[in-house]
Amino acid sequence: MTGRQPTVPAEVAGPPPMVQSEGVHKRFGPLEVLKGIELEVRRGEVMCILGPSGSGKSTFLRCINHLEKIDAGLLWVDGSLVGYRQKDHRRHGLRLHELRESEVAQKRAEIGMVFQRFNLFPHMTALQNVIEAPLRVKKEPRSEVTDRAQQMLQRVGLSDKAGAYPTQLSGGQQQRVAIARALAMRPKLMLFDEPTSALDPELVGEVLDVMRGLAEDGMTMVVVTHEIGFAREVGDSLVFMDGGVVVEAGPPREILANPRHERTRTFLSKVL
């Protein structure tokens, strides 16, 4: 975060947007992956991010829960800066202070994330995967957590698989357990990083159905995906990224029907 004076989020009145990104930059060594991302995700909004691989969409998603540290720009989640704290010094004015590791962890606990490769804990059963974080991170009582975990597994249609280890489950089942695991933390925001890209085609539907249900319940979601159909039917907004910038953003139907930019058009013609 260099070269910029931190500013207060634009809307001071009313609840802040769930995610607000101003000029977010990220580089890996000499490679600049994000070149100034300007985005806003409202509460209850389902935003789908589309784009060719290497466009920076996954990296941006990982910046939101601070799995990646941004190099410049400002990023807010629910009105507070990601990874930093603003402090009003008497002499120096507003300054940014890096959060301690435990504080970063606390913030992450409020954001659910679902990965392309599921990343379930292989040494734990489905139920143990789901109860682990509420039990150890939030220190909630075991009986309460177990009850809620059963509900979550039921919600993703896997209440009969509570005792199964991840290797005993299909890819689609694993990904649904991963969604239940994230939901058990009662997140205010869910991030999906290509949740169906590692699945066999016939297993994609069951995962998308769970995600559709979540959207209908009003969960705020940011979904990096290649599923155009899902983006059109479930998404409130669609963002097309390429080369580390947002090429265009807007209502999914509009963008998919007549993309304004040449790059969006070429990309869509390839995936549709």
Partner 1 sequence: MAVAILAVIVAMMIHGVVTNERFHWDTVGKYLFDQRVGQGILVTLELTVLSMAIAVTLGVILAVMRLSPNPILSGAAWVYLWVFRGTPVYTQLVFWGLVGVLYPQIGFGIPFGPQFATFDGKDLIAPFVAALLGLALNEAAYMAEIVRAGILSVDEGQTEAAAALGMARGQLMRRIVLPQAMRVIIPPTGNEVISMLKTTSLVIAVPYSLDLYAKTRDISTRLFLPVPLLIVAAIWYLVMTSMLMTGQYYLERYYARGSLRTLPLTPLQKLRRRVRARGAAR
Contact between 121 and partner 1 per CB under 8 A = yes
Residue 229 beta carbon to partner 1: minimum distance, rounded to whole angstroms: 27
149-154 CB contacts, 8 Å cutoff, 24+ apart? 149/180, 149/184, 152/180, 152/181, 152/183, 152/184, 153/126, 153/127, 153/177, 153/180
Q: Candidates 5, 143, 167, 269: give the one binding partner 1 (CB under 8 A).
A: 167
Site for partner 1 in 19-78 (CB under 8 A): 65, 67
Contact 149, 128 (CB under 8 A): no
Contact between 169 and partner 1 per CB under 8 A = no
User: In this chain, which stretch among 72-80, 148-156, 164-172, 238-246 interacts with partner 1, using CB under 8 A?
Assistant: 164-172
Contact between 111 and partner 1 per CB under 8 A = yes
Q: Which residues contact 76 (CB under 8 A, 6 or more apart)?
A: 9, 16, 17, 19, 20, 21, 82
Residue 196 beta carbon to partner 1: minimum distance, rounded to whole angstroms: 17
Contact between 165 and partner 1 per CB under 8 A = yes
Residue 193 beta carbon to partner 1: minimum distance, rounded to whole angstroms: 10
The CA distance from 64 to 74, in Å, is: 11
Binding mask 73-102 for partner 1 (x = CB under 8 A): ----------------------------xx
Residues that bind partner 1 (CB under 8 A): 65, 67, 101-102, 105-113, 115, 117, 119-124, 132-133, 136-138, 165-168, 178, 181-182, 185
